[in-house]
Amino acid sequence: MINNILMVSSEAVPFAKSGGLADVAGTLPKAIVDNGYDIRVVLPLYKTIKDKFKKDMTKLCSFNVRLGWRNQTANIYEYKLQTEKGNTLIYYLIQNDYYFERDSLYGFNDDGERFMFFSKAVLEMLPQVGFKPEMIHCNDWQTGTIPCMLKEVYAKRNSFYKDMKTLYTIHNLKFQGICGFEFLEMMELDSSYFTADKLEFWGGVSMMKAGILYCDKLNTVSETYSREIQLPSYGCQLDGLLRSVNDKLYGVLNGIDNDFYNPATDHLLFKNYDINTFNNKLANKMKLQEEMGLEVNIDVPLIAMVSRITDQKGFDMVAEKMDELLSLNAQFIIQGTGEQGLEDMFRYMESKAPGRVKANLVFSEEMANKIYGSADMILIPSRFEPCGLTQLISFRYGTVPIVRHTGGLADTVLSYQPSTGEGTGFSFRRCDANEMMVAVREAIRIYEDKAKWNELTNNIMKLDYSWNTSAMKYVKLYEGATGHADNETRKMLKKVFQVA
């Protein structure tokens, strides 16, 4: 059995979140700890982390990290979190004034250097805090250089690191951490690594590529996405490389925290409900309509979009079909923040139909839960979607997803078939606004047939996307990489969820 595992992430709930990565890095380790494994999590100690957490952190040690000619101090703090099941999950937080005392997590010119510092500090920290993981689980470009530095630098000079293996998880291939040539020096690598078969990428050094190439096992957060990224249309110029390493590439669907997302106990809801008291959801709908300044009417379908507002999410299709959407007998709520142009589009949409459209362009987890607990449908027309947590959360709240058939959305949302009663939502295939409209219209048609709608909401409320299954798949991947796999695990790794 594998025991010591370190999860490395640039964000994790409950400390710091900008997107789905934080949910995964926060909730997957809890599920693994609850299954009896020693997994710990490490992330930067950002200025934005709440004081209620900071005050319970204990300082463990301090040391210098060299990044080329720069020398920066890393202060390591520890935080112990009790899981609902009574187990202890240890977090390490890496503090440095210069890199992390800033008002947001990302978006700075020196993001590359900030996460290079973080990645190096993670490796340097291990002997200092006395934790020797068999497996280091890295996530996205911010931690992509770890598998490479571990193999090419640390393991070569210190036997402490010799047997450590890595899993690299891609949550979003689009963001790659492309830096300059000087990053090789920060990684303590010479210029022989600046070639197309190593770290060079269109004249720069790619952290994403470093992760993909040097990890022992690689995965994405759904099976479909791990197939899609091997195609030029989804591969972000790394499809060739991904095809060449596809014998170590897997797809493992994310889970969600079923305790946090539970309409029966969610204290953010006006009225709690479950599958047997589903009608209570209507009280939430009316309350939300009132709060958002929409016409209070339980019969009009309320369609929500809860998302980072970026082009990944396909909102340009909504812009293209704005007039047609507004001609439908439906209300719309848009919740989230993102790109200026798209935010303005939603503001304009609200101004065209006040009382039927609310553009609530703020990041608010509370509001997101209220919307899940009130809306009838959720629209997710993503251009690409590595997994997507929104549809999984919506299932839990009996809110029907209308999605584009891609990535994790394709793996979880099956179009409702009125003839058989099967299905978990509505979906459309191509990135085409007309196809999206067909799906939206079909959803509204079924909504108007109360018996069918009940059948569909019943179907989705019965689904279970808690971490139970997926967490054990991760454990199998860890075991496969570290030589702990028994025959059954080996077979499973070969057949069950390898996608190549």
Closer to ligand GLC by CB, 76 or 221: give it.
221
Find the shortest distance in angstroms from Cβ 205 to ligand GLC: 23
Q: Is 221 in the site for ligand GLC (CB under 6 A)?
A: yes
Give CA–CA dist 12/24, Å, rounded.
7
Q: Find the part of the chain contacting ligand GLC (CB under 6 A) among 120-128, 194-202, 386-394, 412-420.
A: 386-394
d(CA 466, CA 458): 17
Q: Are 496 and 430 in contact (CB under 8 A)?
A: no
Region of 13-21, 62-70, 270-278, 492-500 interacting with ligand GLC (CB under 6 A) = 13-21
Q: Which of 79, 111, 81 is nearest to 93 (CA)?
A: 79
Rounded to 10 deg, the angle between the 450-461 and 433-447 helix axes is 110
By CB under 6 A, is residue 251 in contact with ligand GLC? Answer: no
Under the binding rule (CB under 6 A), the answer on residue 345 touching ligand GLC is no
Site for ligand GLC in 161-220 (CB under 6 A): 171-172
Peptide bond into 127 cis (omega under 30): no
DSSP 99-119: HH-SSSSS--TTHHHHHHHHH
Q: Which of 3, 13, 14, 19 binds ligand GLC (CB under 6 A)?
A: 19
> Site for ligand GLC (CB under 6 A): which residue of 11, 216, 385, 411?
385
Supply the minimum distance, in Å, between the C-beta of residue 410 and ligand GLC: 12
Minimum gap (Å) between residue 171 Cβ and ligand GLC: 3
DSSP H helical ranges for 110-171: 111-129, 145-149, 155-157
The distance of closest approach from Cβ of residue 191 to ligand GLC in the complex, given in angstroms and rounded to an integer, is 33
- Which range in 15-23, 122-130, 238-246, 473-481 contacts ligand GLC by CB under 6 A? 15-23
Residues 30-59 that bind ligand GLC (CB under 6 A): none
Task: Please report whether residue 386 would count as binding ligand GLC according to CB under 6 A.
Answer: yes
Q: Which residue is nearest to ligand GLC (CB)?
A: 20
Axis-axis angle for helices 207-214, 111-129 (nearest 10): 40
In the set 29, 388, 401, 425, which binds ligand GLC (CB under 6 A)?
388
Lay out the site mask for ligand GLC across 273-292 (x = CB under 6 A, - = otherwise). Answer: --------------------
Specify the pairing of strand 70-82 against strand 135-139.
Answer: unpaired
> Rg of the chain over CA atoms, in angstroms?
23
Which C-beta is closer to ligand GLC: that of 21 or that of 292?
A: 21
> Is residue 130 left, alpha or beta, with left meaning phi > 0 and alpha meaning psi from -120 to 50?
left
Which CB sits closer to ligand GLC, 16 or 389?
Answer: 389
Structure-token match 């999984």, residue found? 392
Select the residue interacting with ligand GLC from 20, 177, 204, 263 (CB under 6 A). 20
What's the length of the chain? 500
The minimum distance between CB 427 and ligand GLC, in angstroms, equals: 15
CB 99 within 8 A of CB 43: no
* Candidates 145-153, 183-191, 275-283, 381-389; binding stretch for ligand GLC (CB under 6 A): 381-389
Q: Which stretch binds ligand GLC (CB under 6 A): 204-212, 373-381, 382-390, 435-443?
A: 382-390
Specify the residue, 135 or 221, whose C-beta has the smaller distance to ligand GLC.
221
Beta carbon of residue 20, minimum distance to ligand GLC (angstroms, whole number): 3
Span of 88-96, 387-395, 435-443, 466-474 interacting with ligand GLC by CB under 6 A? 387-395
User: Which amino acid, residue 496?
Assistant: V
- Smallest distance, ligand GLC to C-beta of residue 152, A: 27
CA distance to 88, 92, 292, 297, 378, per residue, from 32 (Å): 11, 17, 39, 44, 30
Contact call for residue 24 and ligand GLC (CB under 6 A) = yes
**Candidates 76-84, 92-100, 245-253, 380-388; binding stretch for ligand GLC (CB under 6 A):** 380-388
What is the edge-to-edge ordering of all strands in the sheet holding 400-404? 357-360, 331-335, 302-306, 377-380, 400-404, 426-428
Q: 302 pairs with which residues across the strands?
A: 331
Q: Name residues contacting ligand GLC, limited to 399-458 (CB under 6 A).
A: 408
Distance CA 416, CA 419 (A): 9
Q: Is 21 among the residues that bind ligand GLC (CB under 6 A)?
A: yes
Q: Considering CB under 6 A, how many residues would be counted as binding ligand GLC?
A: 14
For residue 485 the two structure tokens come to 């796999």
Where does residue 412 fall: left (phi above 0), alpha (psi -120 to 50 degrees), or beta otherwise? alpha
243, two tokens:
């095809």
For the record, the structure tokens of 395 come out as: 């299932």
Q: Select from 219, 254, 307, 459 the one that contacts ligand GLC (CB under 6 A).
A: 254
Residue nearer to ligand GLC on the CB measure, 18 or 272: 18
> Could you tell me if 214 and 487 are in contact, meaning their C-beta atoms sit under 8 angstroms apart?
no
Check residue 12 for interaction with ligand GLC (CB under 6 A): no
Residues that bind ligand GLC (CB under 6 A): 19-21, 24, 171-172, 221, 254, 385-389, 408
